[in-house]
A and B are shown apart, each in its own frame.
Chain A
Amino acid sequence: MKLRGKAWKFGDSISTDHIAPGRYFHLRSNLPELAKHVLEDARADFAAGVKPGDFIVAGWNFGLGSSREHAPTIIKLAGVSAVLARSFARIFFRNSINIGLPVITVDTSFIEEGDELEVDLGEGTVKDLTNGKEARFRPLSPQLLRILEDGGLIEHIKKHGDIVL
């Protein structure tokens, strides 16, 4: 699967409170409305400016904190094609796979704000088309890649009738 879009840069330790703030707790059953506030407390310009296909590019421990799946869900709803970070918090990583949002663990330091990126999930490559640099990452395990490619855990179970590792 090849993805292409523009990079939005974030720092380290972006928490689920940054992504889906608690003050919008009452919007959790209204995800399109909640998505208007995605990452509001990290970058106020993100929700209004993000375009379908764009990438979130971050540092260490992206998505730390609560188990709220609403966090990766509204990132996906905002049109983001994948999150690239130096590392992910465990629950956010798992939630992302389960809802079909690609999460890529890779050294992101060579990517600048606004760069045009091309990501190949199966090959494990990130190409920065703006500065010509490239990085490789270890593709997801075959089990996780299958869940992701099925469109998340629910679609995976509907397709196979069970969890198939």
Chain B
Amino acid sequence: MSNNNRFDVSLPIKYGLIAGVVALFVSVIGMVALFAERDLIAGVLTLGQVILFLAPAALSYQAASKAPTGKNGTALLYGAITGFVAALPLISLIYVYTLIDLRQFFPNVSPSLMEILTFGQGPGLGSLILLVVSTVLGLVSAGLYLLPDKYRRPIMSGLVGTLVVGMFSEILTERLRFFFGARFVAIVITSKALRPLTALFIFVVVTAIAYWWIQRGEQARERLTQRTTARDPRMRWIGIGLLIIFFLILPLLLGTYLSEVVNNVLIFALMGFGLNIVVGFAGLLDLGYVAFFAIGAYTMAILTSEGALGVGGLSFWLAVPICVLAGVIGGLILGVPVLRMRGDYLAIVTLGFGEIIRILALSDLLKPYIGGAQGVLQIPKPTIVGLDLIKPDQFYYVVLIGVLIAAFVSWRLSGARLGRQWMAMREDEDVAEAMGIKLVNSKLLAFAIGASFAALSGAIFASKLTSIFPHSFNLLISINVLCLIIVGGMGSLPGVIVGALFLVGLPELLREFAEYRLLMYGVLLIVMMLVRPEGIWPSAVRRRELHVYEQDDSARRPAAEPLPKAETREPGMEGPPHL
């Protein structure tokens, strides 16, 4: 809340301009037009419109929250002004488009974008509609802000829930048809989008559940935490048992396509567990992690391939341990030179290593052995007792075994002496060494174990694709894995799975996202670091670390360390000197 008690029109105008520029940006780079192809609610709402109006709505909400306390009228007016101003950049785009052909400069400013911006009504009437819609939206989000908390949160959950269900309605169609039959599907979903009534129904249900949860959830949660803190071993084993059964029958529920998606998610999660050890536990930022993935994949390819490059002709199961061993050796070899580096230098050097491996794989130098740009072909799929695991819902179990091993090893390590050594090292290398930790050993072990998971993942990946090419092992894989552990929460094991679901699963399901995947990763990395550096599902230790100064902030900080006036600080970001 602002201390400023009078009406200040420059604030909503500023917010509106920001929102308008963001909306203009997403339109011009083509996100709006592309995402508009995905209907959320048939005939009412497309994903493109959600993307377009997200910034105006969010900033109107923000503007309303900056209004003087208790003056609801001002808050509503702020919201409306923000929405109104936010529409202006878009309207200028519409008019500039009528004057000159913007397409020669910006290929994504297409007639279909104009169709969306003007609601298909032509520039004149369309601009007016856009203006009205944006203003009303600003008003509504300001109104949402003014609602008491106990209504606001359920309504927001309802909105988000409806949008999510709408986004996935295409996939839902296929699954629902499988379980409930085509008749049921035709009633709730039409041409890949929710029917308006279905959407309303989902909104009401989710809102009601969220309302109930907020009202009653407190008690339920308390009971649950009591259960778990009591450490009833039987409860824990039942929980783990249920989880295992769920994972075992998952492909039956999901069908072929979704199993394939889950396989990709799990392969990345497996790498995530490995990088989590290196970055999350030991605090060594490794940007060349893909090198070990490539080592595993190429080892598997060469050992098992039935093509010209194959050596040995081993079976998948015999080759896997060799791949893991190759990963460990790779981790040690690349680990030794960087032992004395810290922080950002380490990041750049490992990035260099990753690129060197990729370029070598592409080069003519190694072509006689690993195929150069043509890659290695004809890698067989694994077999169990004569049964070829060809279909994704069969192959799933291979990936699952890998992930379970990695998760189990990580989980046991995190509490073990080695894991605690890593965390001590992450906090402060000098102090850790003074406590008797051998930095060399623990660093090398972190690199080696992390690399072994990546190699395992690479081996499974090679066998899944049955042919591999150097282009699959670029820097983006490293960035992808890094993003997923940051988003999930560094050092947190459930965070790895959550991160993989978000960053690998979502883009797989929403194919049109693929083009803007890295754009959104970039935004996500920045936003996560600004807003929630500990990740979605943080480990308890890290959360404490990142908020270590928060509790005694008012008591100690300002007196002990007066800040220069111009410095802006983010609450909760004053952690230890390195991550």
| A joins B in a complex | no
